[in-house]
Structure 1
Amino acid sequence: MSLQLYTKEKQVTACLIGEIDHHGAGHLREAIDEMVKRIHPDTLILDFRDVTFMDSSGIGLVMGRYRLVREWGGTVEIHNPSPSIKKVMRLAGMDRIASIHSSPPAGGASCEKTEAKR
């Protein structure tokens, strides 16, 4: 599991990569929390584009970040989850605390891979 963090004005985008399980979730929480506590974003975007597996630790990751940004009135957006991860999120009620999108975030940092132009 790895992570790339981007900031743009009052927005933090976390590009999650690989498997989100109990082994890697703690590292992700710490890294995201450090950035979020420093920036106090209006919006935290969690981009699941490159997540290949997620267990209940992923639900906890989203819930904890939601509680954190809610302290100052921020919101959480979930972008690009695979169909199976999106289903798990909806079953867990994540769509009641965060908007879930199948597209890249509008106006924010994008986790899309870009090919080098020759």
Structure 2
Amino acid sequence: MNLEFCKKGNILIITLCGELDHNSAEEVRVRVDDRIDRDNIKKAVLDFSRVTFMDSSGIGAVLGRYKKLSNKGGMLCIAMPNKNVSRIFELAGLYKIIKNYDTVDEAVRCI
């Protein structure tokens, strides 16, 4: 999995590229947590537009980053998941706690 980081003001945008599964979830956890801690981030958008597959390990990685930011008084949202990934979020009940946006720009405006 490839990760791209971009800041817009005080919001970190993380673009995930590839498969978010048991092979890549630990790397995602470590790299995202490092960036959140290093830049003292409280708001983040996970851009799922280039994620082709996600399993339960991916759910855990997303939920962990949500909890990390929530504990700092911040928030996490996701943007642009494809229909298969969106279905996984829906079935896992994550949309009840993590907001989903149609575009990254919309997420940045609303977060």
TM-score by length of 2: 0.89
Q: Which residue of 1 aligns with 2:76?
A: 76
CA contact (8 A) 2:13 2:44 kept: yes
> In 2, distance between residues paired with 1:61 and 1:16?
12
Partners of 1:40 and 1:72 within 8 A in 2: no
Give how far 1:40 is off.
2.9
Normalized against structure 1, the TM-score is what?
A: 0.84
1:88 partner SS: helix
Question: C-alpha displacement at 1:103, in angstroms?
Answer: 1.9
Q: Give the superposition deviation at 1:54.
A: 0.6
Which amino acid letter does the alignment assign opposite residue 67 of structure 2?
A: R
Residue correspondences, number: 108
Corresponding residue number in structure 2 for 1:52? 52
Deviations 1:15-66 (A, max 9, x none): 0000111111111111100111122323210000000111111100110001
SS, match of residue 50 in structure 1: strand
Cα shift at 1:73: 1.0
Matched-pair identity in %: 34
Unaligned runs of 5+ in 1: 109-118
Return the alpha-carbon distance in structure 2 between the equivalents of residues 83 and 62 of structure 1.
Answer: 17
Contact 2:79–2:101 (Cα < 8 Å) also in 1:
yes
Structure 2 unaligned blocks of 5 or more:
none
